[in-house]
Amino acid sequence: MKEQYYSIGQVAKLSNISIPTLRYYDQIDLYKPAHVDTLTSYRYYKESQLYILDMIKSLKYIGTPLTDIKTVLNYTPAELFCFLEHQEDVIEGKIQGLQEIHKNLQQTKKQLQQQMKTALATDVFEKTEDLQIFTLPVENYAPQSIPNDCYGELIKLVEAEGSRISSHYGCIYPLLDYNSMDEVRCTHIFTPLMTDRLNSHPAYRRNIRLISESRFIGIAFQYHPDRYIEHYQRLYHYIRSKELPVADHVYDLFTPTRYSQHKEEEFMVELKVQLL
């Protein structure tokens, strides 16, 4: 029985792979025609080599680079099995990475939603919120004078573990009756955590604060250095006049509301205290 030969166009039709792709596979020696007519340079493929294209497709689909496919085609079934096991790990890693990105996106959306809501508020508000922050102790700095080095260190620590930084930063200081911001001394700086990646890390146990579904009392305003104290005092006096049972420290969260290079920068400050 003589074996049938197919032109490149016929192979393209039978395999659902385009002619240019088949030509390219020939060029890179991945899948070569059984015969090339010396006169016309037409490619002819044997019927019995068609099935190899399915394997090439499958390997491509599972993310194997074309250069590796060439090697994999020569594998024994046992070697192929090992390769597939490895590829499975690779895919699992990718899925996990994307799931983290997905969580990060949801967190960012939540932050943004809160920001859009609170941006309009000028009065003291109460809200229920999760707090998931990475903190670093600092000494003797007022909120506006914390050196960028400190935040740089925060970024490095969070990113070293493969976690991601949001562009929100903050500091923590005691809830006291200040008359000027110069009197304020921060105990910590912090950044909200976008994933759970660091939560279970023993080395960072002391750095992480997780408060879920807690009531907070706060105030939010457009940042201006001269008007900060005025907003702080409004919050402070509200808490004291109502004799609210609160924690002894304030979270100050600094959020950029504009990222354009061509416009003046704009920040929102949110001060909040946990209700006990």
Subset of 225-264 contacting its own copies (CB under 8 A): 225, 256-257, 259-262
| Count of residues that interact with its own copies, criterion CB under 8 A | 71
To the nearest whole angstrom, how small is the minimum distance from the Cβ of residue 54 to its own copies? 3
Q: Candidates 43-51, 121-129, 207-215, 231-239 — which segment interacts with its own copies by CB under 8 A?
A: 43-51
Q: Candidates 102-110, 203-211, 214-222, 238-246 — which segment interacts with its own copies by CB under 8 A?
A: 102-110
Distances in Å between the alpha carbon of 50 and those of 3, 9, 18, 26? 12, 13, 14, 14
Taking CB under 8 A as the criterion, the residue among 28, 36, 98, 276 binding its own copies is: 98
DSSP string, 140-206: S--GGG--HHHHHHHHHHHHHTT----S-EEEEEE----SSGGG---SEEEEE-SSSTTTT-GGGTT
To the nearest whole angstrom, how small is the minimum distance from the Cβ of residue 148 to its own copies? 5
By CB under 8 A, residue 85 contacts its own copies: yes
Contact (Cβ atoms closer than 8 angstroms) between residue 186 and residue 171: yes
Taking CB under 8 A as the criterion, the residue among 20, 28, 99, 227 binding its own copies is: 99
Q: Which two tokens mark 124?
A: 């003291």
Angle at 186 between CA 181 and CA 191, to 5 degrees: 115
By CB under 8 A, residue 21 contacts its own copies: no
Residues 125-184 that bind its own copies (CB under 8 A): 148-149, 151-152, 155-156, 159, 164-167, 169
Residues 6+ apart with CB under 8 A from 83: 72, 75
Taking CB under 8 A as the criterion, the residue among 8, 19, 55, 146 binding its own copies is: 55
